[in-house]
Structure 1
Amino acid sequence: MKGLKIKFLSIVVVLLFSVKTSAQSSYINQYKTLASELSQEFGIPTAVILSIAYVETGGGNSKTSQVLNNHFGMVGKNTVNSSRFKSFSDAKESFRSFCQMITRKKYYMKLKGNFNHTEWVSAIASAGYSTKPEEWKKKINQVINRFGL
């Protein structure tokens, strides 16, 4: 009987993990085409765009992404007025705005068209995108590796 309970619990844990992983993968799948199109247009690796969006939104679960369509934690005016984060009409506008912001950075011209995500993540972190750059880089790289971006 004890062995049966352990097997049952093991199956439940595997199923719960699969559901969570599936939900997380759905965010990547939902925005992969958009990120790929923007990658071609702006010369920023798809992996960088998607992984940053994923980390900033908690896989699409943050209120900022759900209410304000802000997938990158960008600060600015919004329609809610209870947040310091900028609101966007849709996710596409948010993704595009992020890429446009990146094009204004000093490192952009040096890296444009270079699809080495490690160099991009390091440059973005060094430019002050995150208040905790080493922790942020680690999270971004974990997402890239986890989802094979």
Structure 2
Amino acid sequence: MTCKKMFSRGWFCAMLGILLLIGNSAFSQRSVTNYVKKYKPTAIRIMNETGIPASVIMGVAMLESGMGTSKNAKYLHNHFGIVGRNTLHKQKGVAYRSRYKEFANAEASFDYFANMVSKKKWFSSLKGNTEYKLWLKHMNHAGYSSAGHEWVKRVTSMISRYKLYKLDEQMAYTGS
């Protein structure tokens, strides 16, 4: 039964729709806030150890893990869409199969991502640089994501929308 059939006034249905939209938006904002609060210390630690901007670390993690809600993030602790082995097929009660790498915890996933990025040839010329768009450009050219420029746009949007670039102000990397 549709809303209009249940209630003869169209304004009620419109108000109900608006309330649902506001509720979903509030939930979405809360999940963003929770995700950032939870993983910001890890991203800042990695930034200060490696010179990779925390905005890049968080932006990629947020996009690739759906703010920690994806099955890969939940079951595999994989926040970066990193392909590799997992033991899901051995776990009872898990009907999810994946080609993505399993990590002991989310922090291990973050560390693996940083290690993977730090092995790229262009890394030494960028470490300590907080220009996130330049990092994303190099990651894209190195083939980090098969989505290419669309991936860059989405990560850039995450960084801009949630002001993740402010995390980079805490850069204390001195290089070595």
TM-score by length of 1: 0.92
Aligned match of 1:79: 87
What residue ranges of structure 2 are gaps of 5+ in the alignment?
1-8, 90-96, 165-176
User: Which letter does structure 2 place at the counterpart of 1:10?
Assistant: I
SS in 1 for 2:156: helix
Over 3 Å counting, the alpha-carbon distance change for 1:47 and 1:7 in structure 2 is same
Map of 2:38 onto structure 1: 30
Contact 1:57 1:72 in 2 (8 A): yes
How far apart in 1 are the matches of 2:80 and 2:136? Answer: 14
> What residue is the counterpart of 2:132 in the other structure?
117
> Partner residue of 2:168?
none
Highest CA radius of gyration, 1 or 2? 2
Aligned to 2:172: none
User: Paired residue for 2:77?
Assistant: 69
Determine the structure 1 residue equivalent to 2:18.
10
Q: Which residue of the partner structure matches residue 129 of structure 1?
A: 144
SS at 1:36 equivalent? helix
Q: Deviations over 1:7-33 (max 9, x none)?
A: 554344223211122113211221111
Structure 1 unaligned spans of 5+: none
Distance in 1, matches of 2:87 and 2:17, equals 46
* Count of residue correspondences: 149
How far apart are residue 90 of structure 1 and its match? Answer: 0.3
Change (3 A) 1:103 1:23: same
Higher relative contact order (CA 8 A, sep 6+): 2
1:85 CA displacement: 1.1
1:90: which partner in 2?
Answer: 105
Inter-partner Cα distance in structure 2 for 1:116 and 1:103 = 16
Backbone CA RMSD of aligned residues: 1.6
Q: TM-score, normalised by structure 2?
A: 0.78
